[in-house]
Amino acid sequence: MTYKEIVSSITNILKLNNKDDRMSRRFILKSLKDSANFLISQKLGERSLSLETNLFTNIPCFEFTKIEAKKCPSIEFRRCGILMKSKKPLPKLIFSRLGSSIREITSLDGDFRFTIVDEIQYRRNKKRQHSLKNEVYVFLGTDNHLYIPDHEILSLDLTVLTAEVDDAEEASGCFEKGNCRNKFENKFICPDKLIEAVKDMTLQRLGITKQINEDQNPNSQDNR
């Protein structure tokens, strides 16, 4: 289902309630995304979306640049001899009690997997020097940028769960500027089993009671 399709399903209900001219499509889409993010976050915490691989978005050629370690928002990584920071922030991720929804980070050829860590994990692993020979760590900063301590990596691929698929596309180093594609043709990120719940929650957010589920006379025309 695209942005356009799910927004239309809401505007049709608004028309039946004579409230379609009060809200923009972008505002409705944001409300839909907020509802979907909330429900998906719950399901992630329950570990009931592990098989929903179609929800994830790939960001190829995510680029990094070397920075001064003292500029890292994490005190732990300021001690690194080499510190790489992503050139662009990640799109807004969907978080749960289990943490961020970064599913996988790999080298461009797909042969190597990076390890996502937080400060505590990095500090613990740092003490086990042998582990550093086989692992390269990636850290998500509070500024929503990714950081790579101890290794000079210029680009990698990652897979994330985000409702902002257009931002994910633009975060890629392969993104072609000047792309005029209609963003309302983007895929709406939500499991099929949650679509109706997302719509109902959105209508509640918009202050609409879903009293009429469908036009009882679909062949009629609005002549107003």
Strand partners, 158: 59, 105
Q: Does residue 61 contact residue 129 with C-beta atoms inside 8 Å?
A: no
Extract the tokens encoding 44. Answer: 């992630």
Query: What pLDDT does 30 receive?
Result: 94
What φ, ψ does residue 10 adopt, rounded to 5°? -80, -45
Q: Which residue has the tokens 């994490």?
A: 74
User: β-strands 115-117, 137-140: how paired?
Assistant: parallel
pLDDT digits (tens, 9 = 90+) for 116-163: 887 777 777 766 655 556 788 898 888 899 999 888 999 999 999 999
pLDDT digits (tens, 9 = 90+) for 83-101: 899 999 999 998 887 777 8
- Predicted TM-score (pTM) of the model is 0.79
Confidence band (pLDDT; 50, 70, 90) for 177? low
Q: Does residue 189 contact residue 57 with C-beta atoms inside 8 Å?
A: yes
Strand partners, 66: 84
Residue 103: in which H helix or E strand, if any?
strand 102-106
